Amino acid sequence: AAPRFKLNDVEDVLPESLPLGIRQRLSLAVAVIHRPEMLILDEPTSGVDPVARDMFWQLMVDLSRQDKVTIFISTHFMNEAERCDRIS
């Protein structure tokens, strides 16, 4: 999971000392270890810098398209909502 989520450089670092964007990727990696069919994420990129946000979204797109994971997301960022397949 470390290479897919680009966590190789931080494998030996305690999570609380990581930047928020990396902690969010780590949380997503932990959430998909058991190959869930569905994820529910509440504002997963809130407080994350734009580069980390784009990387996080690419991971979610890959999970959705390649692994067929259904992802429910709540967000107040309209540009993020536009990336979704369906909005309600």
Q: Which CATH number goes with the domain that contains 72?
A: 3.40.50.300
For the chain, what is the domain count?
1
At residue 61, the pLDDT reads 92
Using left for φ > 0, alpha for ψ between -120 and 50, and beta otherwise, residue 84 falls in: beta
15: in domain:
yes
70: in domain:
yes
Per-residue pLDDT for the chain (88 aa), expressed as one digit of tens each?
Answer: 678 888 888 988 999 999 998 998 899 889 999 999 999 999 988 888 888 889 889 989 999 999 999 999 999 888 888 888 887 7
86: in domain:
no
Count Cβ atoms within 10 A of the Cβ of residue 25 and give its class: 0-12 exposed, 13-18 middle, 19 or more buried.
Answer: buried
Residues spanned by the domain of 57: 8-81
